[in-house]
Chain A
Amino acid sequence: MTHAYTPGLRLSEKLQIRKNRNLPLPGDVIVKKGDTVKSDDIVARTNLPGKVHSVNVVNRLAILPTDLRKNMLKKEGDSVVKDEPIAETSPFIKMFKSICLSPITGIIESISDITGQVLLREPPKPVQITAYVDGKVVETIEKEGVVIETSATFIQGIFGIGGETTGELQIIVNSPDDIVKPDDINETHRGKIIACGSIIYSDAIKKAIDTGVKGIVVGGIRDKEINELLGYDLGVAITGSEDINITIIITEGFGQIGMAQKTFDMLKKREGSVASINGATQIRAGVVRPEIIIPYDDEETSGKSDKNESTADEESAGISIGDQVRIIRNPNFGVLGKVKDLPSELQTIETEAMARVLEVEFPDGQTAIVPRANIEAIEE
């Protein structure tokens, strides 16, 4: 049968995490298995093929495509520098000579005597992959990348923008329901990842960017702020490559929603540690949620037993009475509660749709019937 509920976001105080750090194209892995790495250490590098430029040489020289090769000064594979002649005509009268110059520095990729086109390629662009998290190299995949393992606090957000970044974690509000104001952000937050309360508005985001804050973790955000920040209306939740000089992760949803107390407490406990965060979100089959990884350093982990650690790959097992859940749709959106009952029969809800439901009990003792599709398990 299909899942009757939405698998929840992972929230774990201590988790064994493995991160694959792969190159976009085959290249060189420069660390060995067993090496200890810091988040900004380079672990693999490669070269991306350079941009291709085309020059229609036959048009430039006013010749026929079939005559192209005999007028070329360079052949396929030759190196050229910008403005270097790559082809010229050899007329009887020299003053009628036409020359075609290279628009770039690079190599001649191909010469076509059908289209009269010469393709030139810029030099390759080096790409480096960092470790992203502090940890240990547990596997190297030749030419492709490495796997890094770390023991860390792991928190999944619901949505984010901006890519990978690292910085010291600092909580700048007193409670998960607070609203962060621009004045709460100052020079001491430069290079840090700040955790806020229930919502952040444009003025505070702007102040954070201007101050050099690397990342923001917050309960909710309005759609308006995301639009302003990106300069366009986000159509599909595929993010992570935005060039906005900051990474923002929301933990609950859109609008003002207090950060779940447990998430807030966990962040508070790890305040001062270096966190690796990534806003990349992909809501399609093979969902990717934003993440906050706060590795433990050796001192923090030494002497502690790892017996109770879970792994990020563990599968969630259904939902049962007594489990903590979060309601993820109106009414009561964002409210946490406990599963009181799991009736098996379909029930008619307000829309008249027949749905599988469950009964949720809130901390004040009130209860509500909610479609199972509209709750999220709080995963540990």
Chain B
Amino acid sequence: MAEILNVIVATDCGSTTTKAILIEKRGDEYRQTYRGEAPTTVEAPFEDVTRGVLNAFAELEELSGRKILDGEKIITPAQENTGVDIYISTSSAGGGLQMMVAGAVKTMSAQSAQKAALGAGAIVMDVIASNDKRLPHEKIERIRDLRPDMILLSGGTDGGTVSHVVELAEFIGAANPRPRLGMTFQLPVIYAGNKEARDRVSDVLKDKTALRITDNLRPLLEMENLGPARLEIQNLFLEHVMAHAPGYKKLMSWTGVPIMPTPGAVGEMIQAIARKDNINVVGVDIGGATTDVFSVFDGIFNRTVSANFGMSYSISNVIAETGIENIIRWLPFEIDEADIRNRIKNKMIRPTTIPQLLEDLILEHAIAREALRLSFVQHKALAVGLKGVQKLKDMSESFDRVTEEETLIKMNNLDLIVGSGGVLSHAPRRSQAMMMMIDAFQPQGITMIAVDSIFMMPHLGVLSTINEKAATEVFEKDCLIYLGPCVSLTNSGKFGSHCLDCVITYSDGKRTEDSLSLGEIKVFELKEGEKAKVEISPANKFDLGEGKGKELVKEVVGGVVGLVIDARGRPLNLDGIKGKEPMEKVLSEWNNAFDAYPTLPFYEKL
């Protein structure tokens, strides 16, 4: 690898837009300096991804004054105002990496396989398991119909079941699936299961598929080994999937390191940041079609993709999944249900339109809350400890089989939530993004909330694989916008009852005192980077993560929105409030606390 990296150019080739950024070393630190974009050109009439990349470079050249291209060749290395030291890229064009995974037991090897595929940046189209209750012919038809880019087959601990794994291989063989791209090529299949079944699996699949064998991803019940399978997925992504996508062969020859699937790169970045500060992080990227959620808790990384929760192409699916009443509950004005449904469907069929009316913006923000909430529920369900491992439990624990207990996502231990995607990054007021994230994720205790300013996490993710220092520096200085810390209750109580008193002592010695009742949320001034000491005393039954009635004393750092104290209780129960106060009034009080929306006629009535 180029040993001195002073100028780096990075692109993310998305389904619709190719985004290029320039990162330059200025003095001792790396900074993102310029940004350019152009429509992605994977599809007809161009069918060559490099055209879009060159167009994005041309815009970068224009803005930065740096000459990057010599014709269609990238100039390396960088010298004064010419050339770059390395070009790196991610890609999610053409629908990204679409995979199917299979394993012997749904909650064991199949789940580990699913985690490996998601962690590598794939969309998992289906999970086939020996015990998934589908009949063999149903599984075979499903494999044939879905046409994934590749299949990951696992199953059996080393020395464990052979027959179940071979049976799954037989189903794949019988389905004889064709890959999505390149009709005449064989479908790549990765086998990462019981090593004693390798020969048998190979006999069944080697002639029908492009079979690769790698280490078992679940060698023991108590152990996952997802790394080798993830690496193999990313290699095959380049060799088979990317190589058959228009223009990618040329693009691959330009990049200094292998092209990564976009979500895989975002995952790398989230992990780098968690590692650097030794913190627990949740990251979310809400797009037009999908919502990705990433988490690192106690060093364990998980990623999920909610393939049909998004803000344009999939906006209607959010309503279909959550129900229209769950959207309406976030609206501080009355609106006919049929009207909402038609508006949402119109956004679905014309996905590039933007809200022009404030009413439409608030409606989109309501939908975003639900899309984020549902995606996070899915994430918590997958980010769990290993199933099948024997644990010693006392009597009380054996009755406590709540899913919440099994998830690795402990909200009280979460340090940072990072949001990205148009609806969060481009919200007209930053406070709107903060409210959406607090309402959707419902953090507990003290949690910093931030947004990715211009969606450069993918670029920085690839960069982190070659220069972690450069990536984390740019991430903190240019990518993240800290909105502020949120201090929340971890439990709930009677609406309107007094629940906490707080004292905020600013670094200049100024003090602010206040008290909040259950159902209230307040925003206190605390500028970006400014420090303050918060002392919060909850009433007897209330808990801020320190124990019921126990005082919380912490130093917090501010953000562009300020310091939020959320006394609305957890879980946030809007239905519980409904009977006690008109929802429109409660919602507008919350919005006013954040100064979230401008005042307009329908608003003044409230």
Contacts and interface: CB of A to CB of B under 8 A. Distances in A.
Contact of B342 (A223, A234, A328, A373): A223
B437 interface: no
Interface stretch (A39-47, A207-215, A280-288): A280-288
A95 interface: no
A370 B316 contact: no
Interface string A108-121: 01101011110101
B351 interface: yes
B514 to A, nearest CB: 28
Interface stretch (B69-77, B173-181, B295-303, B533-541): B173-181
Contacts of A370: 356
A223 B173 CA distance: 42
A353 interface: yes
B173 A1 contact: no
Nearest to B362: A351
A115 B141 CA distance: 20
Given A6-B350, A115-B163, A115-B166, A235 B175 contact: no
A281 B313 CA distance: 12
A254 B200 CA distance: 55
B511 interface: no
A237 interface: yes
B598 interface: yes
Nearest to B353: A329
Which of A65, A121, A226, A237 has the most B CB atoms < 10 Å from its CB?
A237
Contacts of A114: 162-163, 166-167, 200
B354 A353 contact: yes
A333 B360 CA distance: 13
B402 interface: no
Contacts of B176: 49
Given A65-B163, A353-B426, A236 B355 contact: no
Given A110-B170, A236-B313, A330 B352 contact: no
Main secondary structure of the interface of A (DSSP, over half): loop
B126 to A, nearest CB: 16
B45 interface: yes
Given A285-B43, A285-B95, A351 B361 contact: yes
A235 B316 contact: yes
Interface residues of A, number: 57
B357 interface: yes
Contacts of B162: 114
B206 interface: no
Nearest to A119: B174
Contact of B356 (A223, A233, A350): A350
Contact of A236 (B37, B93, B317): B317
Nearest to A329: B353
A224 interface: yes
Contacts of A331: 356-357
A233 B289 CA distance: 17
B345 A351 contact: no
A81 B162 CA distance: 32
Interface string A319-335: 00000000011110100
Contacts of A313: 45
A112 B141 CA distance: 19
Contacts, number: 175
B349 A237 contact: yes
Given A237-B316, A254-B345, A373 B598 contact: no
Contacts of B515: none
Contacts of B338: 222-224
A318 to B, nearest CB: 13
A77 to B, nearest CB: 14
A5 to B, nearest CB: 9
A346 to B, nearest CB: 12
B314 interface: yes
Main secondary structure of the interface of B (DSSP, over half): helix
Interface string A246-279: 0000000111000000000000000000000000
A71 interface: no
A314 to B, nearest CB: 10
A315 B46 CA distance: 11
A282 B346 CA distance: 14
A236 B137 contact: no
A83 to B, nearest CB: 18
Given A222-B342, A237-B316, A350-B357, A285 B349 contact: no
Which of B170, B314, B354, B356 has the most A CB atoms < 10 Å from its CB?
B356
B170 A234 contact: no
Interface string B304-344: 00001000011011011100000000000000001101111
Contacts of A315: 45
Nearest to A7: B352
A373 to B, nearest CB: 5
B358 interface: yes
Interface of A: 1-3, 6, 49, 51-54, 65, 109-110, 112, 114-117, 119, 121, 158-159, 222-224, 226, 232-237, 253-255, 281, 283-286, 313, 315, 328-331, 333, 349-353, 355, 370-371, 373-374, 376
Interface of B: 15-17, 37-40, 42-45, 59, 93-95, 136-137, 140-141, 144, 162-164, 166-167, 170, 173-176, 200, 204, 289, 308, 313-314, 316-317, 319-321, 338-339, 341-346, 348-358, 360-361, 426, 428-429, 598, 600
6 contacts: A2-B38, A112-B166, A119-B174, A255-B346, A328-B350, A349-B356
Given A2-B39, A373-B352, 5 more contacts: A49-B144, A110-B173, A115-B166, A121-B174, A255-B339
